[in-house]
């Protein structure tokens, strides 16, 4: 059985497993006896692209072996804490989004292409920190801004998703926000108004951290991984494509409650 | 010779059953689709059958005991009509048969509907609707058959031939018509007992499975609705069939025959002394109108069709074309029939029929207004979800309570107008017999096109199951969109159908009060025949002599209730009313608690299966669906006994203690509280359900939001409201009335106070 290497975002960890992505996502979401449930976000990692000695992979082959009954090893934690910063973006070969009940959607990396629309953005950061922010910056600019080492507050590398703002993207006072599931919309409006009014700060924190699960239906464009070297996008299929080609996942994804 | 119009009743019965068989064969010719679709349908079919087998065992035992009891009362104590044990049995058997055939059809139809939806929306609609029509037509067909058969049998024993030249023969025929119609009422009790078990048991089953499936599957495990990995999902689908199809079929069979028989009995009483021929026409009128409505319902079924890609409004329009078409046709043709039959005060009676039809439509529309997400009340409940589940529940209860106003006022207005028209444009107690007959005829008008209105009701669970089948079988999104459209339509028609069922129960309840008094009169006559005196509570004494027997026969309704001191200041009446109102609440409480307990067992089982069968979530191992079905079945059978026994025991108990005034108080209190409570629960539950759907459509944050979570909790609370306790209350009201009629002899002969 081959050994797979995954970079989990919640919690941040590098994990070896004998399970392929779909099965690992199921295991990660619901456990081995359905005593837990919760969505999971993780990347497939190409071990050959990891820097030498960044992780103790030498022991992985010895530890990641089938159980005595022949069943595959579910997980071996290789590293926790500050793991993302040691995994080069080029090593992330696919991103997997597991729903509460273990359905897995795999999305592939693409070169980031900025769209031309001028608007406010809402970003949910996943790793290494988890605030939700509004920003005037597009994803590439945001990555550059947030990972600048000369800033008093920065991270070496970041994974985040852009979330839809609906009509609020251009008008914080718009009343057409019926399908936005975010809590405390009034605060979100205030943040956007402040962002639009001030020429100073390019970002404004809306929530200090994720309290609940994210709703996949709110993802706009997709997920992004970036640092000072560049940015890679993992675009989310359109809702029409999800309904048509990934119906089981899409249906499960809409069962979650969260923010 | 029986009036020629009577023969329309068996003819309509045969035609309804023939059309039902035709639609059934048509449906069976359709393919069940892929092997997976057929496999899922088979699971549901087996589960539903297993449930009904178990239910029939329990109900069979109850029927056996009651038949023995009635036989003892009739043949040993001679205080009851000797036909009662047989009539009771046939009513029960036919009611069960109607539910059984409807449910079998539905379980065959779901996969076929899903498969037809792969072809086109119109094809799916046709298969689902015509399968629903099987139950609608079987219910009215068997109902008319039962009515016609008993009428024919009883006229052999109690001749109704009259002669202009022979006053004595006329009098005997008149008296016989009263005996025949009140005797026929007793088979309504068999139907009522059967429908009580079917509704309560089915209601507990379906909501235990539904709530159990939702609580663990959706909330804990995040599994979508109708996902094959949820062990309770087949039980949930089985529940739709045993509760919403078999339960509803048995329920409305009882309503249908109850309405016809009560009106016939009121007709016999109202026109007593006006000549047996006139009386016979009044007795036959409700049967003939029912037969006419049945024939028109068959035509209405053929009017239902739509185009591919139809919007939900067009789909609703397609169903409305059938239902409204039949209603308009009955409104027009019934006048001609009443005129041709020579029914006295034909225009007034026709107006009473129209009042009934309109009352049904108003109640249905009110139910739609209060439960559809297109209108304010449901949207207001959805708004409340922004502040959490507590306000959703408060809002739902508040709107549900408000929703009682229109139906109650509609029924009150309907009763008043029907009374006024049928009483020859009078609104006073001097014409009470005729007025009550008009109320009965209004209920007949409301249910005259039951063949097609019930088809729209039964269509709902078929479309729901078709959606489940499509989901579990992994059919393409466009097919699921079609089955979803069909399902959404079913939710709207269900609210309207419940309105008709509840409204007709209210009118029937009033009509049965009068029939009860007629039965009491017959029971007193039986005491006099045995050579004993009978003393009324007002100390009027009748002796076993011909003149007193004649006096008794000539007592009208007002004289009877006067002798029995049925006035509000009589403590026996007040006690009965309080107990009747209390019973409606206790009965609801028992069924609600039963759902809670049964759902708890289901939750435990689903959790156990997830924990011990790890392959379920991976889709590599089938859940043990049968065990979940079995748990729900056993829980439903166990839990339905107490509320059922309470409903059966109450009229006897009150009758034995407080006699006739107490029983009348009980029936009045039960009917008033039961009708209001039933409306409140059905509408609250429907509104909570659709408030959730309103949010899911993308309002107030949409799916996954905090508002959605609060609305899901409201919907779960509302499940037993709208599908267990609410609909069961109709039957409580009708069963107590029917039973009071059947055991009237006991209350007359033996009472403590």
Nearest CA to CA, how far is B374 from chain A (Å)?
16
Q: How far is CA B663 from the centre of its chain?
A: 22
A48 to chain B, any CB pair closer than 8 A? The answer is: no
Q: Are residues A125 and A248 in the same domain?
A: yes
**Residue A258 placed within a domain:** no
| A20 has a chain B CB within 8 A of its CB | no
Same domain for A103 and A125, yes or no, is: no
Of A61, A91, A107, which residue sits at a domain end?
A107
Q: Examine the predicted complex and report whether its ipTM is higher than 0.90.
A: no
Put simply, the answer to whether A34 touches B614 (Cβ < 8 Å) is yes
The domain boundary, picked from A68, A89, A107, lies at: A107
Q: Chain B closest CA to A32's CA: distance in Å?
A: 6
Chain A residue with Cα closest to B472: A248
Q: What residues of A are in contact with residue B605 (Cβ under 8 Å)?
A: none
Quick check: bond before A11 cis, omega within 30? yes
Instruction: Assess whether A122 and A103 both reside in one domain.
Output: no
Examine the domain organization and report whether A164 and A37 are in the same domain: no
pLDDT of residue A141: 94
Task: Determine contact: A33 vs chain B, CB below 8 A.
Answer: yes
Q: Measure CB to CB from residue B222 to each of A100, A243, A248 and give the nearest one.
A: A100
Q: Within an 8 Å CB–CB cutoff, is residue A247 touching chain B?
A: yes
Measure B699 CA to nearest chain A CA, in Å. Answer: 4
Q: How many CB pairs under 8 A join A and B?
A: 87
Residues A145 and A192 in one domain: yes
Closest chain B CA to residue A251: B224
Query: Which candidate from B223, B480, B708 shows the least CB-CB separation from A257?
Result: B708
Number of domains in chain B: 1
Please, what's the largest Cα pairwise distance for chain A? 64
Q: How far away is chain B from the Cα of A172, in angstroms, using its nearest Cα?
A: 16
Chain A residues close to B474, C-beta within 8 Å: 247-248
Which of A49-58, A140-149, B128-137, B416-425 bottoms out in mean pLDDT, i.e. has the lowest?
A49-58
A23 with B618: Cβ contact below 8 A: yes
- Report the number of distinct structural domains present in chain A: 2
Question: Is A184 part of any domain?
Answer: yes
Q: Is B380 on the interface with A (CB under 8 A)?
A: no
Same domain, A42 and A124: no
Which of the residues B215, B218, B221, B222 would you substitute to probe the A interface, choosing the one with the greatest number of A C-beta atoms within 10 Å? Answer: B222
Contacts of B698 in chain A (CB under 8 A): 178-179
Q: Which chain B positions have a beta carbon within 8 Å of A258's beta carbon? A: 704
pTM listed for this prediction: 0.89
- Assess B614–A contact: CB distance below 8 Å, yes or no: yes
Question: What average pLDDT does the segment A97-101 reach?
Answer: 91
Q: Is residue A31 part of a domain?
A: yes
Task: Give B709→chain A minimum CA distance, Å.
Answer: 7
Residue A259 forms part of a structural domain: no
Candidate from A33, A99, A248 with C-beta closest to B611: A33
Which one of B704, B710, B712, B715 makes the best mutation probe of the A interface by having the most chain A beta carbons within 10 Å? B704
- Say whether pLDDT at A91 is over 60: yes
The per-residue pLDDT for B26 is 93
Q: First and final CA of chain B: distance in angstroms? A: 46
Task: Say yes or no: A102 and A129 in one domain.
Answer: no
| 3-state secondary structure (DSSP) of residue A96 | strand
The tens digit of pLDDT for each residue in A211-244 reads 778 899 999 889 999 999 999 999 999 988 998 8
- Shortest distance between the Cα of A30 and any Cα of chain B, in A, equals 8
Q: What pLDDT was estimated at residue B492?
A: 67
Least confident piece of the model among A78-92, A93-107, B473-487, B735-749? B473-487
B4 interface with A at CB cutoff 8 Å: no
Q: What are phi and psi of B150, to 5 degrees?
A: -65, -35
Does any domain span residue A183?
A: yes
Q: Residue B551 sits in which domain range?
A: 4-749
How long a stretch of residues is chain A?
Answer: 259
CA distance from start to end of chain A: 38
The angle that helices B167-212 and B726-742 make with each other, rounded to 10 degrees, is 150
Could you report the per-residue pLDDT of B284-336, keeping only the tens digit for each? 999 999 999 999 999 998 888 777 667 767 777 888 888 889 999 999 999 99
Q: Tell me how close the Cα of B236 comes to any Cα of chain A, in angstroms.
A: 18
Closest partner residue to B701 among A37, A181, A247, by Cβ? A181
Does the CB of A180 have a partner CB in chain B at under 8 Å?
yes
Q: Is the peptide bond before A128 cis (omega within 30 degrees of 0)?
A: yes
What is the per-residue pLDDT for A209? 81
Closest-approach residue (CA) in chain A for B711: A257
Report the pLDDT averaged over residues A91-117: 92
What does pLDDT average to in each consecutive run of 10 residues of chain B (753 residues)?
83 96 95 92 90 88 91 84 86 90 92 92 88 94 94 89 75 87 85 88 89 82 82 88 85 89 90 87 95 94 78 76 90 94 92 93 88 90 95 97 95 95 90 91 92 87 89 84 80 71 81 86 89 92 92 88 93 96 95 92 90 84 89 89 90 94 95 93 91 91 92 92 88 88 86 85
Among the partner-chain residues A34, A217, A247, the one whose CB lies closest to the CB of B221 is: A34
Please tell me the distance from the alpha carbon of residue B749 to that of residue B753, in angstroms, as a whole number: 12
A215 and B703 in contact by Cβ < 8 A? Answer: yes
> In which domain, by residue range, is A213 found?
111-253
* Cα of B666 to nearest chain A Cα, Å: 48
Give pairs for B54-57: CB < 8 Å, separation 24+.
B54/B633, B54/B634, B54/B637, B55/B197, B55/B198, B55/B201, B55/B202, B55/B242, B55/B633, B55/B636, B55/B637, B56/B96
**What confidence score (pLDDT) does residue B491 get?**
67
Q: Could you report the per-residue pLDDT of B206-258, keeping only the tens digit for each?
A: 888 888 888 887 777 778 888 888 899 888 888 888 888 888 888 889 889 98
Judge if A187 and A218 occupy the same domain.
yes
Nearest CB neighbour to A255, from listed B224, B474, B700: B224
What's CA B515's distance to the chain center, in Å? Answer: 19
Q: Do B698 and A215 touch (CB under 8 A)?
A: no
Say if residue A58 is in the same domain as residue A17.
yes
DSSP for B147-169, please give it: HHHHHHHHHHHS-----TT-HHH
Collapsed DSSP state (helix, strand, coil) of residue B57: helix
- Among chain B residues, the shortest Cα distance to A246 is held by B477
Please name the residues between 185 and 214 in chain A that touch chain B, using a CB distance below 8 Å: none
Same domain, A57 and A164: no
| Spatial distance between the Cα atoms of B581 and B676, rounded to a whole number of angstroms | 10
pLDDT the model gives residue B615: 85
Residue B108 CA to residue B131 CA, distance in Å, equals: 9
A167/A237 same-domain check: yes
């Amino acid at each position: 059985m081959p050994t797979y290497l995954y970079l989990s975002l919640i919690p941040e960890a590098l994990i070896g497993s004998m399970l392929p992505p779909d099965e690992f996502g199921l295991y990660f979401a619901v456990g081995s006896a359905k005593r837990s449930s919760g969505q999971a976000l993780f990347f497939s990692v190409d071990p050959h692209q990891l820097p030498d000695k960044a992780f103790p992979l030498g022991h992985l082959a010895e530890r990641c072996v089938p159980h005595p009954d022949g069943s595959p090893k579910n997980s071996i934690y290789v590293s926790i804490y500050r793991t993302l910063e040691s995994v080069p973006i080029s090593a992330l070969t696919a991103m997997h989004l597991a729903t509460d009940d273990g359905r897995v959607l795999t999305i592939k990396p693409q070169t980031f292409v900025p769209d031309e629309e001028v608007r406010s953005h809402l970003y949910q950061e996943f790793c290494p920190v988890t605030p939700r922010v509004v920003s005037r910056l597009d994803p590439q600019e945001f990555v550059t801004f947030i990972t600048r080492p000369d800033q008093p507050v920065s991270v070496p590398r970041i994974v985040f998703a852009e979330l839809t703002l609906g009509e609020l993207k251009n008008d914080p006072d718009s009343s057409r926000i019926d399908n936005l599931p975010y809590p405390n919309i009034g605060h979100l409006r205030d943040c956007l108004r402040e962002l639009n009014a001030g020429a100073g700060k390019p970002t404004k924190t809306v929530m200090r951290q994720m309290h609940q699960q994210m709703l996949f239906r709110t993802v706009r464009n997709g997920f992004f991984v970036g640092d000072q070297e560049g940015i890679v996008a993992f675009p989310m299929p359109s809702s029409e494509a999800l309904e048509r080609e990934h119906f089981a996942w899409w249906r499960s994804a809409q069962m979650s409650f969260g923010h | 010779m029986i009036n020629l119009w009577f023969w329309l009743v068996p003819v309509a019965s045969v035609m309804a059953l023939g059309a039902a068989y035709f639609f059934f064969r048509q449906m069976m010719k359709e393919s069940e689709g892929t092997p997976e679709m057929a496999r899922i349908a088979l699971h549901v079919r087996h589960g539903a059958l297993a449930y009904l087998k178990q239910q029939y065992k329990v109900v069979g035992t109850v029927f056996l005991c009651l038949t023995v009891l009635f036989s003892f009362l009739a043949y040993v104590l001679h205080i009851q009509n000797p036909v009662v044990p047989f009539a009771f049995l046939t009513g029960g058997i036919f009611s069960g048969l109607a539910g059984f055939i409807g449910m079998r059809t539905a379980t065959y139809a779901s996969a076929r509907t899903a498969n037809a939806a792969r072809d086109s929306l119109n094809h799916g609609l046709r298969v689902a609707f015509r399968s629903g029509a099987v139950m609608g037509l079987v219910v009215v067909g068997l109902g008319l058959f039962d009515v016609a058969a008993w009428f024919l049998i009883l006229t052999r024993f109690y001749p109704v031939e009259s002669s202009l030249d022979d006053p004595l023969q006329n009098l005997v025929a008149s008296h016989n018509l009263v005996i025949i119609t009140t005797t026929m009422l007793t088979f309504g009790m068999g139907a009522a007992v059967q429908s009580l078990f079917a509704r309560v048991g089915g209601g507990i089953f379906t909501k235990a499975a539904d709530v159990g499936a939702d609580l663990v599957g959706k909330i804990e495990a995040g599994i979508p609705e109708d996902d094959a990995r949820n062990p309770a999902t087949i039980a949930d689908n089985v529940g739709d069939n045993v509760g919403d199809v078999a339960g509803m079929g048995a329920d409305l069979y009882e309503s249908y025959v109850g309405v016809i028989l009560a009106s016939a009995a009121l007709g016999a009483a109202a026109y007593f002394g006006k000549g047996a021929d006139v009386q016979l026409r009044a007795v036959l009128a409700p049967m003939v109108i029912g037969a006419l409505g049945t024939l028109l319902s068959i035509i209405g079924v053929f009017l239902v069709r739509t185009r591919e890609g139809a919007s939900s409004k067009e789909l609703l329009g397609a169903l409305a074309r059938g239902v409204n078409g039949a209603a308009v046709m009955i409104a027009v043709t019934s006048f001609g029939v009443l005129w041709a039959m020579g029914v006295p005060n034909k225009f007034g009676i026709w107006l009473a029929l129209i009042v009934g039809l309109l009352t049904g439509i108003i109640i249905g529309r009110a139910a739609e207004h209060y439960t559809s997400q297109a209108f304010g009340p449901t949207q207001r409940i959805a708004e409340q979800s922004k502040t959490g589940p507590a306000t959703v529940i408060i809002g739902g209860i508040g709107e549900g309570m408000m929703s009682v106003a229109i139906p109650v006022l509609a029924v009150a207005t309907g009763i008043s107008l029907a009374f006024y028209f049928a009483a020859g444009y009078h609104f006073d107690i001097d014409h009470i017999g005729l007025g009550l007959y008009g109320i009965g005829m209004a209920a007949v008008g409301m249910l005259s096109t039951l063949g097609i209105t019930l088809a729209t009701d039964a269509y709902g669970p078929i479309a729901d199951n078709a959606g489940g089948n499509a989901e579990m079988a992994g059919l393409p999104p466009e097919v699921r969109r079609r089955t979803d459209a069909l399902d959404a339509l079913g939710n709207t028609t269900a609210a309207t159908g419940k309105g008709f069922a509840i409204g007709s129960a209210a009118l029937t309840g009033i009509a049965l009060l009068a029939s009860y008094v007629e039965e009491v009169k017959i029971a007193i006559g039986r005491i006099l025949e045995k050579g004993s005196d009978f003393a009324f509570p007002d100390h009027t004494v009748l002796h076993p002599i011909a003149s007193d027997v004649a006096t008794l026969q000539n007592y009208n309704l007002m004289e009877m209730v006067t002798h029995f001191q049925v006035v509000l200041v009589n403590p026996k009446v007040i006690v009965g009313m309080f107990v009747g109102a209390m019973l409606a609440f206790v009965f609801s409480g028992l069924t609600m608690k039963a759902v809670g307990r049964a759902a708890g067992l289901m939750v435990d089982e689903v959790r156990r299966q997830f924990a011990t069968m790890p392959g379920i979530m991976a889709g590599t191992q089938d859940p043990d669906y049968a065990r979940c079905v079995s748990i729900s079945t056993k829980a439903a059978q166990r839990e339905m006994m107490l509320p059922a026994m309470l409903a059966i025991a109450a009229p006897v108990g009150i009758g034995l203690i407080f006699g006739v005034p107490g029983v009348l108080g009980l029936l009045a209190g039960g009917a008033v509280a039961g009708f209001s409570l039933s409306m409140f629960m059905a509408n609250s539950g429907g509104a909570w359900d659709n408030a959730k759907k309103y949010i899911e459509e993308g309002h107030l944050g949409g799916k996954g939001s905090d508002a959605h979570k609060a609305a899901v909790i409201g919907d779960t609370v509302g499940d037993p409201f709208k599908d267990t306790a609410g609909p069961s209350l109709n039957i409580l009201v009708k069963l107590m009335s029917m039973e009071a009629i059947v055991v009237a002899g006991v209350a007359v002969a033996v009472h403590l106070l």
